[in-house]
Amino acid sequence: MSTDPNENKRAESLLEIQSTYWLKRLDHTLTHTQSSSRLIYLIDAAVLALLYFAVQTFEPLERVVFVSAFPAFLLAILNLLHARLITLQHSWYSGIDGKLRDLLKVKPVDHEKRRCCLSSTHGVYRAIHVFIAVFLAIAGVVMVLYGRGYLPEIKVTPKAEGKRLTDALQAPPYELGGSGVPTDALAQPRARVRADVCGGA
């Protein structure tokens, strides 16, 4: 520490500026990681819910399952990209943390950890998304094989509600009469009236 007050003041001001800069960089790193994690979880849930609805609702089932395999592959790729992003963010976080410790002359926090690939929180998150990506890729391959008819031993039965919806969508529209009532509903009473008149005559 210098004895010159002005020099000490300049050093303290420089230290404050550097600390503020690296703290903002650290905050941006953490914010980007958290935002991307929330986004990938939302995408996973939305796409999987859509696939479940499609499989339970539409027919023919084999074709629906085959087409649904491609969104599953897309989710696998997105989860792999997110795992890579977590790796990069962990590298930035470690570097910025080291800069701040050097500026503040603070020793690293002592904590017990095992030396392996899952020795950090970022490493655990990365492994989770890699496992999700592998599972989705395997599921996508199974869906493609099922959709092409190579797995006849797998039986998937859509719910009754979904089948009724499919039948309703595929059914021909009613032919309405002038009163807005289906012609079939109008034809039956008229036939009975004609039969009664002819019988009475």
Could you tell me if 29 and 77 lie in one domain?
yes
Could you tell me if 198 and 151 lie in one domain?
no
Could you tell me if 81 and 145 lie in one domain?
yes
Query: How far is it, in rounded angstroms, from Cα 48 to Cα 45?
Result: 5
Could you tell me if 127 and 199 lie in one domain?
no
> What is residue 56's predicted lDDT score, i.e. its pLDDT?
87
Residue 161 CA from chain centroid, whole number: 25
Could you tell me if 165 and 180 lie in one domain?
no
Q: Work out the angle between the directed axes of helices 121-147 and 61-104 (0-180°, nearest 10).
A: 170
One-letter amino acid at 175 equals E
> What is residue 176's predicted lDDT score, i.e. its pLDDT?
47
Alpha carbons within 13 angstroms on the beta-carbon side of residue 86 total 23
Could you tell me if 121 and 190 lie in one domain?
no
> What is residue 167's predicted lDDT score, i.e. its pLDDT?
60
Could you tell me if 12 and 63 lie in one domain?
yes
> What is residue 200's predicted lDDT score, i.e. its pLDDT?
52
> What is residue 140's predicted lDDT score, i.e. its pLDDT?
95
Q: Which two tokens stand for residue 160?
A: 């009754």
Could you tell me if 196 and 154 lie in one domain?
no
Q: Which two tokens stand for residue 175?
A: 């032919």
> What is residue 53's predicted lDDT score, i.e. its pLDDT?
92
Could you tell me if 181 and 164 lie in one domain?
no
Could you tell me if 163 and 94 lie in one domain?
yes
> What is residue 40's predicted lDDT score, i.e. its pLDDT?
94
Q: pLDDT below 70 — which residues of the chain?
A: 1-3, 110-117, 156-201
Query: How far is it, in rounded angstroms, from Cα 163 to Cα 161?
Result: 5
> What is residue 5's predicted lDDT score, i.e. its pLDDT?
73
> What is residue 166's predicted lDDT score, i.e. its pLDDT?
54
What is the number of other CB atoms lying within 10 angstroms of the CB of residue 129? 21
By residue range, what is the domain housing residue 84?
5-108+116-170
pTM: 0.69
Could you tell me if 190 and 100 lie in one domain?
no
